[in-house]
Amino acid sequence: MKYMNLFISCTLLFFLTSCSSSSSQDVHTSKIGLLLPQTIDDQGWNSKGYQGMLKVQASLNVDVLMREDTSTFESVNTAVQEFVKEDVSLIIGHSHIYADFFMVLKDEYPDIHFVSFNGDVEGDNITSVHFEGYAMGYFAGMLASELSQTNTIGVIGAFQFQPEIQGFKDGALFHKPTVTVLVDYVDSWVNKDKAITIFHEMKEEESDIFYPAGDGFHIDIIEEVKKEGLHAIGYVGDQIDLGESVILTSTVQEIEDLYEHIAKQYRQGELMSGNQYFDFQEGVISMGEFGQEVPEETVRWLTEVIDTYIETSELPTEHTNDTY
């Protein structure tokens, strides 16, 4: 029994330290710090991050300390100081904004391993995990162009750097070169008023399918789509429960599964520092449930296309065209 207890303690410690972390890290630490840029009730990115950490907390029996609405360097610095006092050794910032903040803080706290999302990092005690959004947007664009009755579809993005937006446009035009793809940006994750204004402008241009690619305003856009009797493709989570006659499908980023994947890599000593990338092949990005307005033959067609991508890592255009 004595050796079994020692094994369990060492296993937990191994999870809480990166494979690149120093061996001098506190052996008693069993706490994870989570930073969220907004609140957990957004029904999108932040709520999924919170649910993901609950899953880790339950499966690994570790304490999770969380700070919401932490989006400035000052608030992040304060939160890190508080986490250090609580003996936290792994801090996860649930947004790309934390990459730059953590790059400043990592040298000050060499015994903490920092993890951010979709940022650019380098160093021994810092990792950034990236969702490869291009393919999910590509498949969403293919479906939208297939089902549009007006031959006009719209994507409302948060920022121009989002690969899923270019993917949506490229996939739509590959599948149906005659389709009109309207693209506009809110320049914010959370500016609901501007997003709704863009929606109505696109509606006036006869867009009948919308892809709201912003986790702070996507639910509001879907509600507007529902009022107008149009269709939408959900974003980040599976939004089919918002209306099976409204939602065609969703581009789902499985935050919960990614957290579990990261945890397993920590346990096995396989999570490397630097930038790490995840896509359909890792099982952390998928298409959600299809709505009742999507014909069965269309579901079969798109599912086969996605399965081929998972097997080959090649999008359809790569088989027939030299460029996207």
In sequence order, which residues have a C-beta less than 8 Å from that of residue 267 and are 6 or more positions away?
11, 14, 15
pLDDT at residue 318, as a whole number: 54
Rounded to whole angstroms, the Cα distance separating 93 from 217 reads 21
Which uninterrupted H or E stretch holds 75? Answer: helix 73-85
Q: At what angle do helices 73-85 and 97-105 cross, to 10 degrees?
A: 60
Q: Is the pLDDT of residue 61 over 80?
A: no
Closest CA to 221 of 234, 204, 238: 234
Handedness of CA 100, 121, 38, 90 (dihedral sign): negative
pLDDT band with cut points at 50, 70 and 90 for residue 267: low
Residue 55 tokens read as: 């899953």
Q: Is the pLDDT of residue 219 over 60?
A: yes
pTM: 0.79
pLDDT tens readout for residues 74-110: 999 999 999 999 998 889 999 889 999 999 999 999 9
Ordered by where they begin, the domains of the chain are 2-131+255-282 (3.40.50.2300), 134-253+294-320 (3.40.50.2300)
Question: In percent, how much of the chain has pLDDT > 90?
Answer: 65
Rounded to whole angstroms, the Cα distance separating 172 from 175 reads 5
* Strand pairing class (285-287; 247-253): antiparallel
Q: Which residue has the tokens 């649930």?
A: 94
pLDDT at residue 314, as a whole number: 94
Side-chain half-sphere CA neighbours of 218 within 13 A: 28
Q: Mean pLDDT across the chain, nearest whole number?
A: 86
Question: In percent, how much of the chain has pLDDT > 70?
Answer: 85
Q: What angle do CA 119, 123, 128 make, to 5 degrees?
A: 25
Q: Is the pLDDT of residue 145 over 60?
A: yes
**Exposed, middle or buried, 301 (CB in 10 Å: 0-12/13-18/19+)?**
middle
